[in-house]
Structure 1
Amino acid sequence: MRRKLCRGEGINVDQIATPQEAIQNKQYKMALIELLYQLADDDFILAFRGSEWLGLAPHIEEDIAYASINQATMGHAVMYYELLESLGEGSADELAHERKASERKNAILLELMNGTGSYLENPSYDWAFTVVRHYFYDIYKKLKLESLKQSSYLPLAQAATKIKMEQYYHVMHWKVWFNQLVLSGGEAKTRMQAAIQKVWDEFADVLSYGTYAADFSKYQLIEEENLFKQKWEVEMQQVFQKAGIDYPGPPSARKGNGRTGMHTEDLNQALSILSEVYSLDPQATW
């Protein structure tokens, strides 16, 4: 049985009786919307960066597998955008394609280009960076989904339950690549170490809940930020230990905090490509 929302000063949530009751509380709804934007924008932009590897992956089997992962990840973003649509934020297509970079809530790490060049002109992409970014993010995402399954907002908890069924396979896919390259030695290991450092320099931004962190936990939308970070750190320490790599300590966020609207030019470049076809006729049904 789901317990009722306690209204008034010092509002607290154990569990929400219904989504309708939850969103009647303005503060709760604002926190929920912020969390959904973070979840949707993260998966949306990373799925796009992954799609840029189509036809460029190391071998044909990986090309097919990676394309499937990106399609699933974009599907996860759609689920979150549709939850936002149900809360009156606009259509899912509008939220995905019409919002400016400054309105996006994705972590900066996830928007960074795969390497130099572009998909159509002299792409020189870094497979090591791609492997590390995806692996570390998917471990983070797996833990986050476990927490979201207990969310006080039932539609979000239900979405997390569905998504987590696919997430296991995503983690396993990148785990194989990560261990294979790190443990192989030589140039592969050297490139992986450089990629690990690059990802670690920005991963604190991924872990950030942004300015609504206190409300996220207050309304039990997701577990408390520091507790979640501790769980992720324990998981990552095991990853480094099994790979025979020294754990580098707490990650950084050198380029800023994407949760607060800080972004790089890489995001503008991505959004211009993502919205190119949609902008031809926003009213069309794709």
Structure 2
Amino acid sequence: MEGRDSTMKIMKPEELMQHPEYKEVLIELLFQLADDDLIIAYRGSEWLGLAPHIEEDVAFSSISQDTMGHAAMYYQLLEEMGVGNADDLAHGRKASERRNAVLLEEVNGSGHYLHEPRYDWAFTVVRNYFYTQAKKVRIDSLKSCSYVPLAQVAVKINMELYYHLMHWKTWFIQLVNAPGEARERMKNAVAKVLDDFAGVLTLGSKGKKMAEFGLIEDEDLLKQRWIQAMKPIFEQTNLNLPNNFGMKRGNGRNGEHTADLDEAIATLSEVYRLDSLANW
């Protein structure tokens, strides 16, 4: 495929793993994929009982559960490569060791799940829709990954991703096309998400090597595919889609994070810290 090194594609997986940089770059990619899904799934779980209606409560919970399962599959691949125990990788790492995009760790809104939560549904819809479309672009590329176990995981995830994307796309179109306050809140949410969306689209400092090793296609190519997928939706809803996006609060691929992630990890890892042998 375009953007991949053909010499890497003809090497066997065991040969690839012997390359001095291949394993290092693969580990970086897996941490990005796993950490992104883990934190966005956690933010989704915080909507349990708070979604706009009971049907959405069930649907969103299911999507979050699927996404947490996707993160688990990536962490399991890391475990099989000898990086560490999957549960330890998910729950035992500090915020500075995480590779998730900063946008995905941001709280859903003001308040706390147990204390006067005032979450922003418009922000949640936009963040999840934009992220899920970016994830779909990556998964499509990963289905041809030079590391066969990751390609196989991508095929499995893709089957669920179709429904996740359809769900958030439907919410996005309906709310943007709604009159009055709904449209204005969605426009504000779009601007807010795009301020940090470059952090989702980037593959970090090892992105070029990932493409050279045939792990995933070039970052710029993936970005253009995301834009092409979103353009018809923006045109349909009379919104303008810029070509440049921000990374306002730091690059999570470099371990730059906010206090929101520290708080999320503390909650996520509470059971792990009490009993590290418990299943997550």
Matched, 1:78 2:72: yes
Higher relative contact order (CA 8 A, sep 6+): 2
Match of 2:12 among 6, 14, 17: 17
Match of 2:154 in 1: 160
* CA distance in 2: counterparts of 1:34 and 1:41, whole angstroms: 11
Distance 2:185 2:278 in 1: 44
Superposed, 1:1-286 pairs within 5 Å as 12-18=7-13, 20-285=14-279
TM-score (ref. length: structure 1): 0.94
Tell which deviates more after alignment, 234-243 or 26-35.
234-243
CA distance in 2, matches of 1:242, 1:92: 42
TM-score (norm 2): 0.96
> For residues 199-255 of structure 1, what are the alpha-carbon distances to aligned partners after superposition, in whole Å with 9 as ceiling and x for unaligned?
000000100110101110110100011111111111122221111112233111111
CA RMSD of aligned residues (A): 1.3
- Aligned positions, number: 276
User: How far apart in 2 are the matches of 1:140 and 1:165?
Assistant: 16
Conserved? CA contact 1:15–1:220, under 8 Å: no
Matches of 2:221 and 2:241, distance apart in 1:
19
CA contact (8 A) 1:12 1:218 kept: no
Deviation at 1:116, TM superposition (A): 0.5
CA distance in 2, matches of 1:182, 1:224: 32
Percent identity, aligned pairs only?
A: 56
Gap regions ≥5 residues in structure 2: none
Q: Secondary structure at the match of 2:9?
A: coil
In the TM superposition, residue 285 of structure 1 has moved relative to its aligned partner by 4.3
Q: For 1:245-280, what per-residue CA distance to the aligned partner results, in whole angstroms no more than 9, with x for missing partners?
A: 122331111111100000010000100000011110
Unaligned runs of 5+ in 1: 1-5
**CA–CA separation in structure 1 for the residues paired with 2:257 and 2:7:** 33
Question: Does the CA contact (< 8 Å) of 1:132 and 1:195 recur in 2?
Answer: yes
